[in-house]
A and B are shown apart, each in its own frame.
Chain A
Amino acid sequence: MTINLNDITCPTREQRANGINTFNGKASELVELAKKKELKNCERDFQQNSGCLLNFYLTVRVATIRDSVMIVHAPVGCSAPSALYREVFRRLYQGLGLQENFDFHWLTTNIGEKDVIYGAGDKLRFAIREAERRHSPEAIFILTSCASGIIGEDIEGVVSETQGEIGATIVPIHCEGIRSRIIQTGYDAFWHGLLKYLVKPPQKKQKDLINVASMLSYTWQDRQEIIRLLGKMGLRANFIPEFASVQNFREMSEAALTAPVCPTYTDYLSRGLEQEYGIPFFLHPAPVGIANTDEWLRVIGEHTGKQKEAEKLVKEERAYWVPKMEEIRRGFDEVKAQNNGQFHIMGSLGQGRLVTQTPFFHELGVTTPVALCQDFDDLLLEDVELLLKRIGDFDIVVNTFQAAEVAHTARKYDPDMVLSCPFQGSAYKREKGMTRIHALRGDGRKWSAQAGYAGAIACGSFLLQATRNRSFQNVMLAKTEDPYQEWFFQQPDPYYFHRKEA
């Protein structure tokens, strides 16, 4: 696959990699269909809020980029989530490496009735100038919306017209919500804009610099852990996009390697950096769980000529962390002893977590009767095949935040614990109990970490802790009503409402 930076944006995930977000069956079957290019996305008759290219969650990612201004070219509601993040992130203590008085800047063009009829190009031009006047940023990101897309706003025209008079580099990002069912398309669109406009040809090579694209669903502690581990190998992490400065993007072309935290999220960027600047990359594994972290460090070692350092580090770290993991395992053994010898967890979220989290559950000594995955495409096919070889076949449900389908699946498989994003509409009161699958970037506690060795232990402890008392979930389950009709749960297929044709 080549990335064509002459185009204004990326292809959709559907186009680029046969992306789908409707599937219910065996993982082996999913892989077979994908290999034959026979996966088909279905239209849902019953569908629930999920998230769009712009709002899952480019707005809150892009807004965190320092010395930049984000302009959301949209009606006022599209940027509403960005209202919170300045305040939320300031809760992080400065000792964790967040700059003092962390601030960020954005504008909405607040598209109104008149604008959708007459066009809002003048407004966008004005907003660009206003962004420059207010903040003299290094970069101005323009995020597009359904409304701007449908009325056919000429974003590139405005950019080329205003770029000459503006000090900041203007980066248009085509994340119109209507473009795709797959929210990953939004990330690809963002990387496309960065690669096209912001990444500079290398001035020098920085052999110790590793590009790491991290996610808001990994916490601030995960960042700290990655810095710590790379530091021990004499390497530095170039974290993008959240909290990065514009310079961090510009110098991505000078790095030695692009390493994943979430492979499906990083894919387009990694390929683009390799294609344009020859920066090598790998997509698997991500540093989740002990074995995956070992492997992650080793692969980084290979790419940077630091195999020895990597081996030494892995050895040291294992000596410290593996006994802790064994302790957690023993904890789960106790839990299992009281639970017919097993403990089923239903988990995972994105494709990235699918391939990383399942092996991690095995490290904990718990099993997964079914994996949930937000979307599926060709990009990680090999890794899922590998996973099948390692752990055998498993059931998989692919949907993007379809809360009713998830509730149905939970009822059907009756796992001992459901891991989910708590924002999934009252999901906390699922049958035997549920706990959060991850914390968010604004949570600076070590307790909430997930990445690297420290994260594996923190997350394992957290899950063990979650098995110990579930009165809250039980009380809420008993005392509040389920939003869904019993009839729905009685249908054998959670995908009852899928139209088999597209």
Chain B
Amino acid sequence: MPTPKNHKPPHKPKLKQIAIYGKGGIGKSTTTSNLSAALADLGYKVMQFGCDPKADSTNTLRDGSYIPTILDLLREKGRVDAHDAIFEGYNGIYCVEAGGPSPGVGCAGRGIITAVQLLKQQNVYEELDLDYVIYDVLGDVVCGGFAVPIREGIARHVFTVSSSDFMAIYAANNLFRGIQKYSNSGGALLGGVIANSVSGGYQKAIIDDFVSQTNTQVLQYVPRSITVTQSELGGKTTIEAAPDSEQAQIYRELAKRVEAHEESVVPKPLDAQELRAWATGWSDQILAVERGDVRSAGAHI
């Protein structure tokens, strides 16, 4: 059974700011939106802040519709009242999109810096009395702009969405490097990995190995599910479209874990050589499994 809507949490916690990173296309916005929806269902006041020039992070919270972005408003008016950039979505979730340039022009990273600062300076989080602000941030940390949510004390906890795909892990490792860099100067720390499209088998083994190598944890395994796809096609989160589904339950569990999560850590990213060696090790192993040479814990596929 889903938690009844608008149930009040026992005591008013401090505003929790979270950043969720991950390689493009990995299911980051899907996970974030479902997390937001589940937290809202738990009775929290949540803002989801999309930091991706595509500006589609919050679509499934608003029946698939796009909202004007902060940077669109800035371009039109020169001055932005934060309230004009905040839109209500599923179960009262405040939806914000940073926005950004068309592909191939301008500087998307600078766009994120501008948008985050604009909202912060207007003290909107306090005014709205938020419990959660969740930044949904594009890709690995490619340049300074994309690191903004994890530094300057903006987000406290970072989660990364990753599959067992090597490129996704590479992105996660890059993010860890960013977090490590900013950790001495009051930046965010790592809460853990949300393992997406990971059902078990060697996929799980790969992720588990990676997190143990890098001093972090898997917060939740989220299997691939047709329910998610169906919900998204209807412009909704799984929590909204299929609240009774098994997948919705998994997102609610994720939300509970995020709710309970207090202590984040400095990760130990692998350096370039280590990462390559690690990846080669795994690909050899998988090849061996497929040839039938080895029977290991991860080989029951």
Contacts and interface: CB of A to CB of B under 8 A. Distances in A.
* Direct touching of A and B (C-beta under 8 Å): yes
B79 interface: yes
B78 A157 contact: no
A198 to B, nearest CB: 20
Contacts of B80: 15
A151 interface: yes
Contacts of A169: none
Interface stretch (B141-149, B161-169, B225-233): B141-149
B152 A4 contact: no
B76 A151 contact: no
Nearest to B123: A4
B184 interface: yes
A157 B76 contact: no
A14 B186 contact: no
A299 to B, nearest CB: 31
B79 A14 contact: yes
A7 B110 contact: no
A154 interface: yes
Given A4-B123, A154-B182, A157-B151, A502 B76 contact: yes
B78 A40 contact: yes
Q: Is the interface of A mostly helix, strand, loop or mixed?
A: loop
Interface string A2-17: 0010011001001100
Nearest to B76: A502
Contacts of B123: 4
A7 B185 contact: no
A11 B75 CA distance: 17
Interface string A137-156: 00000000000011111101
Interface in B92-134: 107, 109-110, 113, 117-118, 120-123
B152 A150 contact: no
Contacts of B76: 501-502
B192 interface: no
A152 B148 contact: yes
Interface in B138-184: 143-148, 151-152, 182, 184
A493 to B, nearest CB: 21
B77 interface: yes
Nearest to A146: B110
A14 B185 contact: no
Given A151-B144, A158-B185, A4 B113 contact: no
Contacts of B151: 154, 156-157
Interface string A491-502: 000000000011
A157 B187 contact: yes
A501 B78 CA distance: 10
A6 to B, nearest CB: 9
A161 interface: yes
B182 A149 contact: no
Interface in B241-300: none
A368 to B, nearest CB: 29
Q: Determine the interface band of chain A, counting residues with CB < 8 A from chain B.
A: 20 to 34
Given A41-B78, A149-B110, A156 B147 contact: no
Given A15-B118, A157-B185, A152 B143 contact: yes
Given A4-B123, A161-B184, A502 B110 contact: no
A50 interface: no
Contact of B144 (A11, A40, A152): A152
Given A149-B113, A150-B110, A158-B185, A8 B144 contact: no
B144 to A, nearest CB: 2
Contact of B79 (A7, A18, A149, A150): A18
Q: Determine the interface band of chain B, counting residues with CB < 8 A from chain A.
A: 20 to 34
Interface in A150-208: 150-154, 156-161, 178, 181
B113 A152 contact: yes
A119 interface: yes
Contacts of A154: 144, 147, 151-152, 182, 185
Nearest to B185: A157
Contacts of B184: 157, 160-161
B69 to A, nearest CB: 16
Contacts of B79: 14-15, 18
Contacts of B110: 149-150, 152, 178
Contacts of B182: 154, 157
B145 A152 contact: yes
Nearest to A153: B144
B75 A502 contact: yes
Given A157-B185, A161-B184, A161-B185, A151 B120 contact: no
A151 B110 CA distance: 7
A8 B186 CA distance: 13
B179 to A, nearest CB: 12
Contact of B121 (A7, A150, A157): A7
Nearest to A154: B151
A502 B77 contact: yes
Interface in A115-153: 119, 149-153
Most A-side CB within 10 Å, residue of B151, B152, B187: B152
Contacts of A119: 144
A249 to B, nearest CB: 24
B70 to A, nearest CB: 12
Contacts of A152: 109-110, 113, 143-148
Nearest to B150: A154
Nearest to A40: B78
Contacts of B118: 15
Nearest to B126: A4
Contacts of A14: 78-79
B181 to A, nearest CB: 8
B152 A8 contact: yes
A247 B79 CA distance: 37
A7 B77 CA distance: 23
A282 to B, nearest CB: 26
Interface string A22-33: 000000000000
A152 B148 CA distance: 8
Interchain residue pairs A-B with the least CB separation, the first 8: A152-B144, A157-B185, A160-B185, A41-B78, A152-B145, A11-B121, A14-B79, A502-B78
Interface of A: 4, 7-8, 11, 14-15, 18, 40-41, 119, 149-154, 156-161, 178, 181, 501-502
10 contacts: A7-B121, A14-B78, A15-B118, A119-B144, A150-B109, A152-B143, A153-B144, A154-B144, A157-B184, A157-B185
Interface of B: 75-80, 107, 109-110, 113, 117-118, 120-123, 143-148, 151-152, 182, 184-187
Given A15-B79, A157-B185, A181-B78, 10 more contacts: A7-B121, A14-B79, A150-B109, A151-B144, A152-B109, A152-B143, A152-B144, A156-B152, A502-B75, A502-B77
